[in-house]
Amino acid sequence: VGPRGTPIKYKFSVTGVRLALYGFGNVGRALARMLLATRAPFNVTALTTKSHGAVVDANGIDLDTILAGTDLPLRALPPVAVLPADVLVEVTPLDPLTGEPALGHIRDALRAGMHVVTANKGPIARAYRELDGLATKHDRMVRFEATLADCLPVFTLRRSALPLAKISAIRGIVSSTNNHILSAAAAGIPFEDALADAQRLGIAEADPRNDLEGHDAAAKATILANVLMDADLVPEDVSREPIDERAATAARAAAENGGRVRPLIEITRRDGKVVASFGPRRLSPMDPLFAVDDFSMGLVFETDLAGRVVVQLHDPHVDQVAYAILTDLLEISGTMPRP
Amino acid sequence: VGPRGTPIKYKFSVTGVRLALYGFGNVGRALARMLLATRAPFNVTALTTKSHGAVVDANGIDLDTILAGTDLPLRALPPVAVLPADVLVEVTPLDPLTGEPALGHIRDALRAGMHVVTANKGPIARAYRELDGLATKHDRMVRFEATLADCLPVFTLRRSALPLAKISAIRGIVSSTNNHILSAAAAGIPFEDALADAQRLGIAEADPRNDLEGHDAAAKATILANVLMDADLVPEDVSREPIDERAATAARAAAENGGRVRPLIEITRRDGKVVASFGPRRLSPMDPLFAVDDFSMGLVFETDLAGRVVVQLHDPHVDQVAYAILTDLLEISGTMPRP
């Protein structure tokens, strides 16, 4: 990586765009598999895992070997700024409330002239304006499609299909675990069983309160409000009602009458101020979010120029998180300096 | 416009990207209003109407004056190739079966080194491969987001949110008039009344057979298959069942049981071959297209990397056609040579 502001020369013929992959859990491993499967023009030159060490190799790391589970030579990675990489891919586990240590990694990378792609909500929900400013200052990109709802088109949609449009309101389902629980309740499956199911699949976290109490949804609503509606919220500004036994009972009752209860975020402008909420809401079959069932997610955008636009992602897996990262990487690589 | 292959210099400070606007009906006028309202960086330098003449002015045409309804000085425009314009916006009325005269205009513009944006299905359904090849040869872009379903994100979505992904199947509602008729039938409104309503709103054509017999839907299915699934269909390859009194009766009966009949295109790969059909299909409330009601449209994409992605556009007006053209223009302007 060259010093700030100077153009960087890459040897695309050999290495492609060089990635530092921070985090090698479910998402990092899914991304590694997808990079191999798609032969996308990227080359991982630094990689760190939670408990199996780290590795740096400017000539590129053999992902097949790493996926096979070998322990890595380094105890910890050198500082971000000295890595031989063009893009930091930040998918480390983190404290969802503070966004650390991911936030620090992202700051370091942007300051060192690297682009950043992250799947971590915390840093974007807490510090979008700062990071966006830092990226602009260093003429680099920070991309975070995967933070919202796997590869549901949100920020890519905004940039490509909704330019110049003003978004006046957003409604949506952005929490897989909660939607699974309420969908299961509609089918008569007990709350605890549905939650255990989501945990077994690795979708709900070990401590499910982050989902059930709406902290996860509040972070996502904050990102949507700040990035797409020019608001300046923190997650604590989002009013929350929990997804609990009572909501599950309501979901069961609604289903018996042809309705569905969905875990909804709602963001709107009231008296010039953006307000956001999360909670269980009863929907009728003519609601565009009615059929967004189980682990599926979806958003409804109210806009001036484009009217009402809806996007949905049905039955996503961890591969769809990896794919969101890959789309961000492809966008960045299209804007990378050519050799 | 410079000769083939030579870089073109634009005076952005004064004129912005220069547009030749062919066609000034509902869509052309809506685009003119939107260009004024959004102050987008475009300048109409040539304009032709069906029966009020044409005008060319390299310094830019005052759209306010034209919208007020003045007759224009020229009987007809000079040939496309000599117009002082960077982009041809093709929204003339045309023969939906042959795609003329739009197809000829588009060929001429690409050969003369202009980019092209069109809302006309015919040329794309008939000649996508030829026009795409011509655009590539001349290093120009041909864009046609508005041909499919107003500003429903389709080709923008493909480019920004579904890169590298293979699309294996597409289902959807792409005909407003037919969906309005079947939605009205569900509410007990007679077929003829619903059709007259769509004609009054300028959504159905004077001769409604193009919609009702599925020719319009077949052209759209052809575009989707050829552009997104690498097929080589012509509209006649799409099997069609009409939207008629019988379909309306079925829609009424389905509604009484909580279902909906929707006018569906279905495109899939069978034995390595892409096949497409159109006809009335009964949907249940858990289908992502169930809530796509009245004049609304929507598509379901089955993909390898992104899973199942759904987009919907609810209650569009003619402004949403204009906006699709505007998004194409913005994409092109981002790739225009800078002064």
pLDDT in tens, B282-338: 999 999 999 999 999 999 999 999 999 999 999 999 999 999 999 999 999 987 665
Separation in Å, CA B177 to CA A242, A322, B99, B196, B303: 42, 39, 21, 10, 28
Contact B157, B311 (CB under 8 A): yes
Q: Kindly determine whether residue B164 and residue A314, on different chains, have CB atoms separated by under 8 Å.
A: no
* pLDDT class of B2 with cuts at 50, 70, 90: very low
Interface check B34 vs A, CB under 8 A: yes
Report the residue from B160, B285, B319 with minimal CB separation from A285: B285
* pLDDT class of A5 with cuts at 50, 70, 90: very low
Could you give the CA distance from residue A212 to residue A222 in angstroms, rounded to a whole number?
A: 17
For the beta sheet containing A17-22, the strands, ordered from the edge strand earlier in sequence to the opposite edge, are A54-56, A42-48, A17-22, A87-90, A115-118, A142-143
Interface check A321 vs B, CB under 8 A: no
Contact B165, B302 (CB under 8 A): no
In degrees, rounded to 5, the angle at the alpha carbon of residue B144 between the alpha carbons of residues A172 and A307 is 30
Q: Is the pLDDT reported for residue A9 higher than 60?
A: no
Interface check B309 vs A, CB under 8 A: yes
| Residue with the two structure tokens 């069932």 | A293
Residues 100-139, chain A: which have Cβ within 8 Å of B?
Answer: none
**What's the whole-model pTM score?**
0.94
Q: Kindly determine whether residue A306 and residue B34, on different chains, have CB atoms separated by under 8 Å.
A: no
Q: Kindly determine whether residue A160 and residue B163, on different chains, have CB atoms separated by under 8 Å.
A: no
pLDDT in tens, B259-283: 999 999 999 999 999 999 999 999 9
Q: Nearest chain B Cα to A151, which residue? A: B306
- Least confidently predicted of A242-251, B207-216, B327-336: B327-336
Q: Is the pLDDT reported for residue A221 higher than 70?
A: yes
How close A326 comes to chain B (CA, Å)? 9
